[in-house]
Amino acid sequence: MYKKTVLDNGITVVTESIAYYSTVSIGMWWRAGSRYETAGLNGISHFIEHMLFKGTTGRTAYDIAREIDAIGGSLNAFTGREYTCLYARVLRKDLHVALDIIADMYRDSLFSSEDVEKERYVITQEIKMIEDNPEEYIYDMFNASYYRDHALGMPILGTLESVEGLTDDQLKGYFRGFYGPENTIITISGRVNHETCVEEIKRRFFGIPAGRADGRELIPPRATTGIDIYEKDLEHVYLCIGTDGVSQVDRRRYVLYVLNAIMGGSMSSHLFQEIREQRGLVYNIYSYVNCYHDAGTFGISTSTSQESITEVLVLIKDEIARIRDKGITDAELSFSKEHIKGNLFIALEGSETRMGRLAKNEIYFGAYIPLKETLREIDRISKKDVAAIAREIFDSARMASLTVLGNVDREKVERVWRE
């Protein structure tokens, strides 16, 4: 099912053939994201993602949209902290159409000055939209506080100041330096033939010379613990609590996923049941896991009224202490494993998810991780493993960081958190 070929110019092609799929998902991935940027160039990867849709030497922006719509397909892109992706999903018979469009966007995007200015305005509006949405903005604020003075703390979209300062030449130069064939992965999932895909890609990317990826040494982040309160006139108070997790290449990430499912990663989790269902103090509360090349975070996020903020904080702290000091039950371990495996199987029903899994395996491991191996890792997790990672990440000596957004009594919040 899985095959991999590295072309002469450095492009890596990875396919997964699934005989019963009628759709095909194609992703063009680059090892480029906000983590690799400097403060002065913050947001440039996201800006480039936008510019790829603004027209090529052979297609206008309308042509790109019209051609993919004409076959009932979808075309989109996203920028992350450690990678950027341009992707399409089409019927199997239209694979060549999607490859044509993606290759054209990669090879011959114009980056015209007029389009750069138009898209600069669009992106600044996108940044303002995020700032007006506290449920999203709280994560940028937490990352900025937790990974202070590190690239992982910079917003993916950039800031208004950094985006306004980016020039045409910087965009073009960065694209040439960081998006070359040697830094490019193409993943395809669906009912496809690997050799045919490789030949199709060779034909469309012929003539793009091999290069050398610009040197970008990853500097491990150092977390900054503490309390950061940002006052803003809001009806609700938004908070994000985070502590060190594990990296994407750490096998203990599966243990952390188990802990996450029990604490706040599902509707039946402890935090949701206690704080939302039993006490009615919040509309939503959940925990999450983020894993990067060499670092990671475990977080808890919610919002509540000004009157309830201290009670919610106490309940969260109590749950953290309970898990850390008492561990989990056999029933909770079994539930969490089945929850994770069920979510995984359901997600892998779609070709897009499988395509993304191929890419992330290649980016982080340089190889394919069979599903069976992932399931074995989950099945072998014990209560002792979960207890060990809970004690580590919830170590009272380096307790989690707290970021708060809204109108709050600063002294009261600080007192409750430090008690």
Return the number of other C-beta atoms located less than 10 Å from residue 384's C-beta.
9
Q: Please, what is the end-to-end C-alpha distance for the chain in angstroms? A: 55
Q: Which of 320, 162, 345, 158 is nearest to 241 (CA)?
A: 320
Return the number of other C-beta atoms located less than 10 Å from residue 130's C-beta.
17
Contacts of 49 (CB under 8 A, 6+ apart): 77, 78, 79, 84, 86
The CATH number of 2-205 is which of 3.90.1010.10, 3.30.830.10, 1.20.140.10, 3.40.190.10? 3.30.830.10
Choosing from 16, 37, 49, 67, which is the catalytic residue?
49
Instruction: Tell the CATH topology of 227-418.
Output: Cytochrome Bc1 Complex; Chain A, domain 1 (3.30.830)
Domain borders along the chain are 2-205, 227-418
Domains 2-205 and 227-418 share a fold: yes
What's the whole-model pTM score?
0.95
pLDDT tens track, the chain, 419 positions: 899 999 999 999 999 999 999 999 999 999 999 999 999 999 999 999 999 999 999 999 999 999 999 999 999 999 999 999 999 999 999 999 999 999 999 999 999 999 999 999 999 999 999 999 999 999 999 999 999 999 999 999 999 999 999 999 999 999 999 999 999 999 999 999 999 999 999 999 988 877 665 557 788 999 888 999 999 999 999 999 999 999 999 999 999 999 999 999 999 999 999 999 999 999 999 999 999 999 999 999 999 999 999 999 999 999 999 999 999 999 999 999 999 999 999 999 989 999 999 999 999 999 999 999 999 999 999 999 999 999 999 986 556 799 999 999 899 999 998 88
Q: Which of 34, 245, 3 is nearest to 150 (CA)?
A: 34
Q: Is 49 a catalytic residue?
A: yes
